[in-house]
Amino acid sequence: MTSTETLTAESTQPVARPGVLDIAPYVGGESKVPGVNRVIRLASNEGALGPSPKAIEAYRALAGEIHRYPDGGSAALRATLAGRFGLEAERIVCSGGSDELITLLVRAYAGPGDEVLYSQHGFLMYPIAAKGVGATPVAAPETELTTDVDAMLAAVTERTKLVFIANPNNPTGTYLPAAEVARLHAGLPAHVVLVIDAAYAEYVAKHDYEPGIELVRRSTNTVMIRTFSKIYGLGGMRVGWAYCPANIADVLNRIRNPFNVNAAGQAAAVASLEDLDFAERSRAHNDKWLPWTSEALSALGLKLTPSVGNFVLAHFPDAPERNADAAWDYMKSRGILTRKMGGYGLPGALRITIGTGEEMKAVVEALSQFLGKS
Ligand SMILES: *Cc1c(COP(=O)(O)O)cnc(C)c1O
């Protein structure tokens, strides 16, 4: 069946709604290498230090209670988030990963004929979610692999219902200063939802950066979404959260599944937030190894896009024996998994997560040999 096939009286099998079969399914980072025991997993931006020991403890403590439904309102987690960030708990909505929030927001505010705007090399879940509801994803060009506010605003039409930016963006690692995000917001019609996906906010140490809280506080059409999958190392637990205007929180609470965050995820997330020391160590680790990796790979002659996240985007030469695909294969043969970027329109680049110091040294050594520098 082709994506254009539609339901007719003769259809011999169920036909998904228009748009669904246009979706190229999201492909996660690989996690296994056949025949290699110790795989270095740098394909999914999972926090280098893993989860907080306190999160593991909280998870284990729930083992005897898994027959119980979780708190459908994630009250303890929302209260902990509210306390930590100085927010109103009733304007926080928790979710099964922030991916769920992306899907819910699109489902609530867009449908067939509507447009969902994102930036050229933005996170792939935005167009996937748009197609899932029959809406049209529209990509605005970027400038130097960075969201271009003027290009985004120029791409807004009367059919635009949502605008997504990842700040910092995955996979480029670039970010927009708070003033630029505010300018984007100011240029949007009041009925358009601006979603600021701040999955990597905890890693950013720039004075002109703001994850979106200030903008959400003073608007009725801006949502900030966050995740426990990156710096908190809870990707396997699936926990995300949104800080919303009251009107949008109300909408999300009507359409989300009633028990969308599992009990262990809620407990592990609360424990992670309370482990301030762990978050600080994770940040400090990235502050050290992000520049170390960037400098070492640059010294090998690779071009690096300046990143403020827990990953780098490395651009390889075009020559077939030295290109990104060949580098990916070479690293995989040494048990190192990184992420290919063809799906993001960047086939000449690989995205490499910042792992442990030992893992980053292994990456540099492998690429040094691959490039014939040692
Ligand atoms: C990893 C990532 C997410 C998804 O996070 P989950 O909470 O694990 O669903 C969302 N947005 C961006 C930009 C990401 O990189």
- Give the nearest ligand 1 atom to 166 CA: 13
- Give the nearest ligand 1 atom to 45 CA: 1
| H/E element, 115 | strand 115-119
- Pick from 367, 369, 370, 362: which is nearest to 39 by CA? 362
**Ligand 1 center from residue 210 Cα (angstroms):** 18
Sign of CA dihedral 277, 271, 289, 164: negative
Whose CA is closest to atom 5 on ligand 1? 98
- Pick from 252, 218, 19, 241: which is nearest to 136 by CA? 19
Is any ligand 1 atom within 6 A of the Cβ of residue 197?
yes
Residue 4: pLDDT band (50, 70, 90) is low
Task: Choose the residue to mutate in 77, 229, 262 for probing ligand 1, maximizing ligand atoms within 8 Å of C-beta.
Answer: 229
Answer whether 89's CB lies under 8 Å from 79's CB.
yes
Is any ligand 1 atom within 6 A of the Cβ of residue 170?
yes
Domains for the chain: give ranges and CATH numbers. Answer: 17-49+277-370 (3.90.1150.10), 53-275 (3.40.640.10)
The reported pLDDT for the residue numbered 335 is 96
Distances in Å between the Cα of 358 and the Cα atoms of 97, 108, 118, 231, 374 are: 29, 45, 36, 18, 18
Is any ligand 1 atom within 6 A of the Cβ of residue 119?
no
Task: Choose the residue to mutate in 42, 94, 99, 176 for probing ligand 1, maximizing ligand atoms within 8 Å of C-beta.
Answer: 99
**Ligand 1 center from residue 214 Cα (angstroms):** 21
Answer whether 48's CB lies under 8 Å from 286's CB.
yes
- Pick from 116, 123, 121, 115: which is nearest to 148 by CA? 121
Sign of CA dihedral 15, 118, 227, 170: positive
- Give the nearest ligand 1 atom to 228 CA: 7
- Find tokens 């246009």 and name the residue: 22
> For residues 21 and 80, what is the distance between their CA atoms, to the nearest angstrom?
40
**Ligand 1 center from residue 100 Cα (angstroms):** 9
Is any ligand 1 atom within 6 A of the Cβ of residue 229?
yes
> For residues 374 and 358, what is the distance between their CA atoms, to the nearest angstrom?
18
Mean pLDDT of the chain: 95
Whose CA is closest to atom 12 on ligand 1? 199
pLDDT digits (tens, 9 = 90+) for 315-328: 999 999 999 999 99
- Pick from 163, 162, 157: which is nearest to 111 by CA? 162
According to DSSP, the β-strands at 303-305 and 311-315 are antiparallel
Does 157 score more than 50 pLDDT? yes
Is any ligand 1 atom within 6 A of the Cβ of residue 123?
yes
Answer whether 231's CB lies under 8 Å from 279's CB.
yes
Crossing angle between the packed helical segments 246-255 and 98-109, to the nearest 10 degrees? 100
pLDDT digits (tens, 9 = 90+) for 79-92: 999 999 999 999 99
Percentage of the residues of the chain whose pLDDT score is greater than 70: 98
- Give the nearest ligand 1 atom to 169 CA: 13
> How many residues would you count in the chain?
374
Does 244 score more than 50 pLDDT? yes
End-to-end CA distance of the chain: 51
**Ligand 1 center from residue 199 Cα (angstroms):** 6
Residue 80 one-letter amino acid: T
Does 20 score more than 60 pLDDT? yes
Q: What is the pTM of this model?
A: 0.95
The reported pLDDT for the residue numbered 1 is 44
Is any ligand 1 atom within 6 A of the Cβ of residue 99?
yes
Overall average pLDDT of the 291-308 stretch = 98
- Quick check: bond before 127 cis, omega within 30? no
Does 71 score more than 60 pLDDT? yes
Crossing angle between the packed helical segments 276-299 and 357-370, to the nearest 10 degrees? 10
Sign of CA dihedral 36, 39, 42, 43: positive
Is any ligand 1 atom within 6 A of the Cβ of residue 199?
yes
Q: Where are the alpha helices (DSSP H) in 34-74?
A: 53-61
**Ligand 1 center from residue 21 Cα (angstroms):** 23
